[in-house]
Amino acid sequence: MTGSTSPPPELEPWLTETFGSVQAVREQTVIKVRNPVTLEETLFAPLRARRPVDGAPAGHDLAAEIAATEDDPFCHPETGTPAEATGRVRGRRVITGANAALADAHHAVIVFDAHDPLDFDVELVADLLQTGRAWAERARESDPAAVNYLLIWNCLWRAGGSIIHGHAQALLGSGPHYARIERLHRDVAAYQSAHGGDLIEEIVAVHRSLGLTIDVADGVTVVANLTPVKERELLVVGLAGMDETDERFAAGLGRTLVAYRDRIGVRSFNMALWRPPLAQADGWTLVPPIARIVDRGDPFQRPSDIGAMELYATPIVGSDPYELIDALR
Ligand SMILES: [Zn+2]
């Protein structure tokens, strides 16, 4: 859709400086993309990314801020975090602890050995996937109804992380899966019964036909999402029936996160692993492991990147999925 504005002459110098030209503000194109099955939808409004911000930060040094918090409780997790009732799970470079403030019956922090949350590599991501899953399987032994496993990573404060030290979180709940994953499960089932098709496979195929995918590992596809929840959202999609600890998926996710940090320059991000329940997973056979990753922007930016549109309406995004996928190639 297009919209137009009528700037007063007094504003023109400022508009030119901020947005490149007055014409760019006079006539604007906003693109709305909706997935008709899932109703995921995004408004692409490129000028939004160029808006000036009051109180814009200057002179912040992220590395120094991270280093200043060294010697926190997560630097010595065995005394700095509570243990789970079933005991800690140790990976090669990560260790679990109980989250002191539980969000579900089973809720762990997975603390990285390295303090700096950006000090990760492909091997650490594989270690994280394996340790998280081992934690979930152990928790399930004592509570067989708890099958809904979720792995999340909030990197830095901008993404909701309250502790800077590198860590992810694992949750395990019973009953229906976490709401957004249950929603996908329903959409996949409804699509199959209405059209006889595989919804996830078709979403990937649509992106592939538009040049918005990369085959990052055998059977693992990176998708620059056409209906992103916020800036630069990527999906890492495995094959139905593939385990997230499968080395192909782990390597695909690890490479994607490393490229997100190094080539795109992302510093603060959210990652969530969507996968079917660990057992009793009737009707989930078409749901592959999917990691969703979103950029939360400059850690020193004062306004939040999300507002009422993102919470209650349709997210507004300034970044271009085509530029994103090209930068990752
Ligand atoms: Zn630390």
107 alpha carbon – ligand 1 mean position (Å): 20
pLDDT score of 54 more than 90: no
The H-or-E segment that residue 281 falls in is none
**Helices 247-262, 122-142: inter-axial angle, 10-degree rounding:** 130
111 alpha carbon – ligand 1 mean position (Å): 9
164 alpha carbon – ligand 1 mean position (Å): 7
The full DSSP string for 193-247 is: HHHSS-HHHHHHHHHHHTT-EEEEETTEEEEE-SS-SSTT-EEEE--TT--TTSH
For position 192, what pLDDT does the model report?
96
Is the backbone of residue 120 left (phi > 0), alpha (psi -120 to 50) or beta?
beta
CB count, 10 Å around CB of 139?
Answer: 24
151 alpha carbon – ligand 1 mean position (Å): 20
270 alpha carbon – ligand 1 mean position (Å): 19
pLDDT score of 48 more than 70: yes
72 alpha carbon – ligand 1 mean position (Å): 5
Tell me the percentage of the chain whose pLDDT exceeds 90.
91
pLDDT score of 215 more than 90: yes
263 alpha carbon – ligand 1 mean position (Å): 26
123 alpha carbon – ligand 1 mean position (Å): 20
88 alpha carbon – ligand 1 mean position (Å): 18
pLDDT score of 110 more than 90: yes
For position 280, what pLDDT does the model report?
73
CB count, 10 Å around CB of 223?
Answer: 22
pLDDT in tens, 124-150: 999 999 999 999 999 999 999 999 999
Flag the least confident range among 35-39, 50-54, 176-180, 194-198. Answer: 50-54
Residue 165 · residue 69 · CB < 8 Å: yes
70 alpha carbon – ligand 1 mean position (Å): 5
110 alpha carbon – ligand 1 mean position (Å): 13
For position 276, what pLDDT does the model report?
97
pLDDT score of 153 more than 70: yes
Longest dimension (CA), the chain: 70
> What 3-state class would DSSP assign to 154?
strand
The H-or-E segment that residue 293 falls in is strand 290-295
Query: Which residues, in sequence order, are CB contacts of 91 under 8 Å at separation 6+?
Result: 110, 127, 128, 130, 131, 134
What is the average per-residue pLDDT within 183-200?
A: 96
What is the average per-residue pLDDT within 105-114?
A: 97
Question: What is the rounded distance in angstroms from the CA atom of residue 276 to the CA atom of residue 288?
Answer: 7
pLDDT score of 51 more than 90: no
What is the average per-residue pLDDT within 201-211?
A: 98
Neighbouring C-alpha atoms within 13 Å toward the C-beta of 298: 12
Query: Which residues, in sequence order, are CB contacts of 179 under 8 Å at separation 6+?
Result: none
115 alpha carbon – ligand 1 mean position (Å): 4
Residue 38 · residue 187 · CB < 8 Å: yes
Question: What is the rounded distance in angstroms from the CA atom of residue 287 to the CA atom of residue 276?
Answer: 6
What is the average per-residue pLDDT within 221-229?
A: 98
Residue 81 · residue 74 · CB < 8 Å: yes
Question: Would you place residue 196 in the very low, low, confident or very high pLDDT band (cuts 50, 70, 90)?
Answer: very high
Question: What is the rounded distance in angstroms from the CA atom of residue 300 to the CA atom of residue 179?
Answer: 31
Question: Would you place residue 50 in the very low, low, confident or very high pLDDT band (cuts 50, 70, 90)?
Answer: confident
Query: Which residues, in sequence order, are CB contacts of 259 under 8 Å at separation 6+?
Result: 328
Tokens, residue 65: 């801020």
Q: Which residue has the higher pLDDT, 50 or 4?
A: 4
The mean of the pLDDT values for the chain is: 95
The two beta strands, 148-155 and 27-29, are unpaired
For position 253, what pLDDT does the model report?
98
**For residues 257-290, b (16+ Cβ closer than 10 Å) or e, as one string?**
bebbbeebebbbbbbbbbbbbbeeeeebebbbbb
pLDDT in tens, 63-94: 999 999 999 999 999 999 999 988 999 999 99
286 alpha carbon – ligand 1 mean position (Å): 40
73 alpha carbon – ligand 1 mean position (Å): 7
Tokens, residue 85: 């009732």
For position 55, what pLDDT does the model report?
65
21 alpha carbon – ligand 1 mean position (Å): 46
pLDDT in tens, 242-294: 999 999 999 999 999 999 999 999 999 999 999 999 997 788 999 999 999 99
293 alpha carbon – ligand 1 mean position (Å): 23
Question: What is the rounded distance in angstroms from the CA atom of residue 234 to the CA atom of residue 226?
Answer: 9
First-to-final CA distance of the chain: 30
For position 57, what pLDDT does the model report?
66
328 alpha carbon – ligand 1 mean position (Å): 30
